[in-house]
């Protein structure tokens, strides 16, 4: 039972992606956009590597792969299809089939699954911010690297998509860890780009590679693609960002007492991913208000790097005073964000996580069957309440 399916108190506003700005693109429209771009010339005349998102993004890459196959068959120089896992675990067989639709066989291009801990990753240089970039050397076997990804707000990198397919998608674990330390910076928040040190650090590393970077950048709502821009990676990314803002951002003039943040699949699989739903919405929450995270987290905690750290602390104040960028360990940004939330707000979860896991992130449980009654209790106390659907990708911004 989702919050919009219960009897909500009068005056509760529901926020969700803005469907009215565009019609979804069908297969014919996708192929038309591909044909109007330089895509055919690139893949038919130059050695190319396709890069797609992994199972932790709701990116319908398979629709792009299908359009490529239907247009060009095996008349191309695509030499491989790499899954940009970053530091995530590799997809299993079922997940891989969903990601590719088995089209790699028809396209005659092998699948490569990136491993951030492989000993074969290559050092290419140190960025202006001091990040030592090591990357999967497969990119150096090709003239063009084609990033097929989706663009939506990201809770500390500003946006997904763009350069993130390459870095951190194909980068080494320690490279990602150092870059992620900038998530502790005050300019690292949803929709922030121009001054975001995480993004700037990633784009800075492109000076170390000579390959031509091409973007197939989509804005999608789950399996429906609403926008597709193709071309130079930076240019196509910026075009997709502009469209993404229409779909995935809302401006609120007033902060509210209660945010019910509902995270949709696949980001609701574990707490590590579902935490995005908190950060995408917390800017509109009043100090002292309540954040209610609705995420089943059937996969548990997920990446345990942050969880192992948070278990060493007894209270949010100790975390806030102890976690520093200079001593950053992977996941510390999540630890600190949970701590700052708990220090300033009440944090509740509707989830399948254990009581111990909930307590460790300074939260308390709300049983799903009690949600309707609980929201009515809050309304009776004149608390302002909003429901945010698909909060793992939808960003609310306080503009008051």
In sequence order, the 6+-apart residues with CB closer than 8 A to the CB of 398 are 251, 252, 255, 283, 284
* End-of-domain residue from the set 226, 247, 268: 247
Q: How many CA atoms lie within 13 A of 20 on its CB side?
A: 1
Q: Write the burial class of residue 46 (CB in 10 Å: 0-12 exposed, 13-18 middle, 19+ buried).
A: middle
Domain identity same for 206 and 303: no
pTM above 0.95, yes or no: no
Closest CA to 227 of 385, 18, 374, 391: 18
> Which residue segment(s) compose the domain that 310 sits in?
3-18+253-398
How far apart CA 62 and CA 227 sit, in angstroms, is: 15
| Residues forming beta bridges with residue 150, ordered by sequence position | 218
DSSP characters over 103-170: HHHHHT--EEE--TT-TT-EEEEE-TTS-EEEE-GGGGG-SEEEEEEE--EETTTEESSGGGGTTTTT
* pLDDT in 10s for each residue of the chain, 400 residues: 567 678 888 899 999 998 777 789 999 999 999 999 999 999 999 999 999 999 988 899 999 999 999 999 999 999 999 999 999 999 999 999 999 999 999 999 999 999 999 999 999 999 999 999 999 999 999 999 999 999 999 999 999 999 999 999 999 999 999 999 999 999 999 999 999 999 999 999 999 999 999 999 999 988 999 999 999 999 999 999 999 999 999 999 999 999 999 999 999 999 999 999 999 999 999 999 999 999 999 999 998 889 999 999 999 999 999 999 989 999 999 999 999 999 999 999 999 999 999 999 999 999 999 999 999 999 999 999 999 999 999 999 998 7
Within a domain: 175: yes
Domain co-membership, 389 together with 312: yes
For residue 201, what is the enclosing H or E element? Answer: helix 197-204
Q: Structure tokens of 37?
A: 């771009």
Among 192, 217, 247, residue at a domain's last position:
247
- Residue 232, domain member (yes or no): yes
Q: Are residue 259 and residue 189 in the same domain, yes or no? A: no
Q: Are residues 271 and 331 in the same domain?
A: yes
- Pair (180, 66) in one structural domain: yes
Check if the beta carbon of residue 293 is closer than 8 Å to that of residue 262: no
Give just the sign of the alpha carbon dihedral 109, 115, 121, 123.
positive
CATH number of the CATH domain containing 51: 3.40.50.11440
Instruction: Tell me if 64 sits within 8 A of 216, measured CB to CB.
Output: yes
Please report, for residues 60, 65, 230, 239, the alpha-carbon distance to residue 27 in angstroms, rounded to integers and kept in the order given.
Answer: 12, 11, 16, 21
Question: In degrees to the nearest 10, what's the CA dihedral of 84, 151, 334, 337?
Answer: 170
Give the CA-trace dihedral at 282, 288, 290, 293, to 10 degrees: 40
Structure-block tokens of residue 18: 């803005």
User: Is the CB of residue 191 less than 8 Å from the CB of residue 202?
Assistant: no
Q: List C-alpha distances in Å: 240 to 29, 98, 138, 366.
A: 17, 24, 27, 37
Q: 64 and 115 share a domain? A: yes
Same domain for 243 and 289:
no
Say if residue 134 is in the same domain as residue 56. Answer: yes
Is residue 31, in this structure, part of any structural domain at all? no
SS3 358: helix
Query: What distance in Å separates the CA atoms of residue 44 and residue 354, rounded to the nearest whole number?
Result: 53
Question: Of 345, 286, 291, 341, which is closest to residue 319 (Cα–Cα)?
Answer: 341
Q: Is 321 within the bounds of a domain? A: yes
Answer yes or no: do 183 and 289 share one domain. Answer: no
Q: Which of 194, 214, 247 is the C-terminal boundary of a domain? A: 247
Q: Both 394 and 322 in a single domain?
A: yes
Give the integer Cα–Cα distance in Å for 97 and 124: 32
Torsion of CA 315, 316, 321, 326, to 10 degrees: 110
Q: Specify whether 13 is located in the same domain as 103.
A: no
Structural domain contains residue 329:
yes
Pair 178, 310 in one domain: no
CATH number of the domain bearing residue 349 = 3.90.226.30
- Determine contact, residues 134/376, Cβ cutoff 8 Å: no
- Structural domains in the chain (count): 2
Does residue 26 lie in a domain region?
no
24 assigned to some structural domain: no
> How high is the pLDDT of residue 52?
98
Does residue 29 fall inside a structural domain? no
What is the reported pLDDT for 58? 86
């Amino acid at each position: 039972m989702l919050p919009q399916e219960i009897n909500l108190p009068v005056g509760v506003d529901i926020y969700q992606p803005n469907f009215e700005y565009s019609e979804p693109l069908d297969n014919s429209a996708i192929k038309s956009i591909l044909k109007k771009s330089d895509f055919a010339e690139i893949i038919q005349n130059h050695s190319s590597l396709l890069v797609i998102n992994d199972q932790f993004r709701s990116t319908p890459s398979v629709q792009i792969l299908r359009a490529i196959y239907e247009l060009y068959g095996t008349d191309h120089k695509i030499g491989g299809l790499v899954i940009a896992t970053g530091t995530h675990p590799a997809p299993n067989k079922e997940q891989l089939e969903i990601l590719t639709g088995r089209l790699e066989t028809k396209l005659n291009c092998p699948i490569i699954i990136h491993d951030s801990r492989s000993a074969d990753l290559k050092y290419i240089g140190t960025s202006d911010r001091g990040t030592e970039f090591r990357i999967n050397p497969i990119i150096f076997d090709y003239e063009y690297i084609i990033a097929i990804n989706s663009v939506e707000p990201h809770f500390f990198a500003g946006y997904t998509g763009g350069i993130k397919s390459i870095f951190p998608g194909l980068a080494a674990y320690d490279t990602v860890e150092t870059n992620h330390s900038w998530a502790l910076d005050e300019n690292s928040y949803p929709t922030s780009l121009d001054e975001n040190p995480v993004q700037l650090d990633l784009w800075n590393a492109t000076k170390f590679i000579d390959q031509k970077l091409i973007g197939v950048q989509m804005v999608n709502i789950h399996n429906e693609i609403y926008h597709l821009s193709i071309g130079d990676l930076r240019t196509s990314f910026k075009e997709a960002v502009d469209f993404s803002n229409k779909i995935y951002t809302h401006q609120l003039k007033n902060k509210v007492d209660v945010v019910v943040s509902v995270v949709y699949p696949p980001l609701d699989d574990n707490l590590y991913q579902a935490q995005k739903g908190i950060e995408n919405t917390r800017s509109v929450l009043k100090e002292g208000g309540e954040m209610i995270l609705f995420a089943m987290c059937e996969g548990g905690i997920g990446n345990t790097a942050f969880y192992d750290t948070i278990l060493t602390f007894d209270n949010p104040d100790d975390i806030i005073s102890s976690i520093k960028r200079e001593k950053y360990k992977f996941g510390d940004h999540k630890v600190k964000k949970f701590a700052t939330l708990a220090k300033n707000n009440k944090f509740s979860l509707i989830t399948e996580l254990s009581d111990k896991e909930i307590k460790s992130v300074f939260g308390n449980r709300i049983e799903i069957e009690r949600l309707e009654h609980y929201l009515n209790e809050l309304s009776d106390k004149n608390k302002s309440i909003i429901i945010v659907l698909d909060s793992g990708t939808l960003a609310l911004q306080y503009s008051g």
